[in-house]
């Protein structure tokens, strides 16, 4: 039975191949051959045949290059971490070809901030979900890899910590902060496996997207019409996604406070 990574790669390959353009000329080869014999100049006829064949060769070459590209990345992933790349989709190389992807910042697994979405994607026996409100307990479970913001808006306090373990290793951490009005700030931390490529996919539905750099760190900021913002960045081998009803400056203050 194919693993999930192989199935996703095959599906992406099928999508790309099906989207390649067909030749816009369907030649009548019998007529063309007759014209070759009758046409004294012949150059235009030969040119027509060449262009038609060139289009076919271009499509075939595009498919071959795509297959080579995918196989190369799969080979690199298996060489770096064969067990994790084969057995857990968290570290598989997934390059999704979708029209609703606003941009590709880097290559990786696509994670959403909502816990319900995470549970749907990680619903298998290898995944363990752990909840706690105790920081020391969370650090013990994670082996001390959780990074907490030193700054948080005064009205907010830590309400919950959720950890996802894959093959007994913590791969994703969710920190949830809330105020007395029921507003939430969520911080997702995803451990990046050394040597593995990854992507961040995000949708632009009703959101303005901006990219900027500060202190050599690249940020992506999504601002939604309902006042919610998402800030995405990498630091020290961890990918972060911060979500909350905050402006750019407040989001950046929280991000910079994570040491």
Give 105-164 as a DSSP string. EEE-----SSHHHHHHHT-STTEEEEEES-HHHHHHHHTS-----S---TT-EEEEEEEE
Instruction: Give the global pTM.
Output: 0.54
Identify the pLDDT of residue 22: 52
Identify the pLDDT of residue 153: 95
Q: Which residues contact 159 (CB under 8 A, 6 or more apart)?
A: 133, 176, 177, 178
3-state secondary structure of 181: coil
pLDDT along the chain (259 residues), means of 10: 56 55 53 58 47 52 58 48 39 34 33 39 65 92 92 95 87 93 93 62 70 91 89 88 94 94
Tokens 């995470």 -> residue: 118
For residues 93-104, b (16+ Cβ closer than 10 Å) or e, as one string? bbbeeeeeeeee
Query: Strands (DSSP E) along 14-137, which ranges?
Result: 103-107, 127-132
Identify the pLDDT of residue 72: 54
Q: Take residue 210 and report the two structure tokens written for it.
A: 């901006």
Fold exhibited by the domain 106-256? Phosphorylase Kinase; domain 1 (3.30.200)
Identify the pLDDT of residue 79: 45
């Amino acid at each position: 039975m194919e693993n999930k990574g192989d199935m996703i790669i095959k599906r992406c390959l099928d999508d790309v191949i099906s989207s390649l353009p067909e030749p816009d000329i369907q030649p009548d080869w019998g007529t063309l051959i007759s014209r070759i014999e009758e046409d004294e100049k012949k150059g235009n006829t030969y040119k027509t045949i060449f262009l038609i064949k060139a289009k076919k060769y271009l499509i075939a070459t595009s498919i071959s290059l795509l297959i080579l590209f995918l196989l190369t990345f799969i080979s690199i992933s298996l060489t770096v971490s064969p067990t994790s790349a084969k057995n857990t989709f968290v570290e598989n190389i997934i390059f999704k070809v979708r029209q609703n992807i606003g941009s590709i910042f880097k290559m990786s697994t696509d994670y959403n901030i909502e816990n319900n979405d995470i549970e749907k994607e990680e619903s298998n026996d290898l995944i363990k979900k752990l909840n706690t409100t105790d920081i020391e307990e969370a650090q013990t479970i994670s082996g001390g890899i959780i990074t907490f913001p030193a700054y948080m808006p005064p009205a907010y306090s830590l309400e919950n910590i959720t950890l996802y373990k894959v093959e007994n290793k913590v791969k994703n951490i969710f920190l949830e902060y809330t105020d007395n009005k029921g507003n939430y700030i969520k911080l997702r931390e995803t451990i990046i496996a050394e040597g593995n490529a990854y992507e961040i996919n995000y949708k632009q539905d009703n959101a303005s997207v901006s990219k900027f750099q500060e202190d050599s760190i690249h940020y992506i900021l999504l601002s939604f019409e309902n006042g919610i913002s998402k800030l995405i960045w990498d630091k020290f081998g961890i990918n972060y996604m911060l979500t909350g009803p905050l402006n750019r400056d407040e989001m950046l203050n929280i991000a910079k406070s994570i040491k």
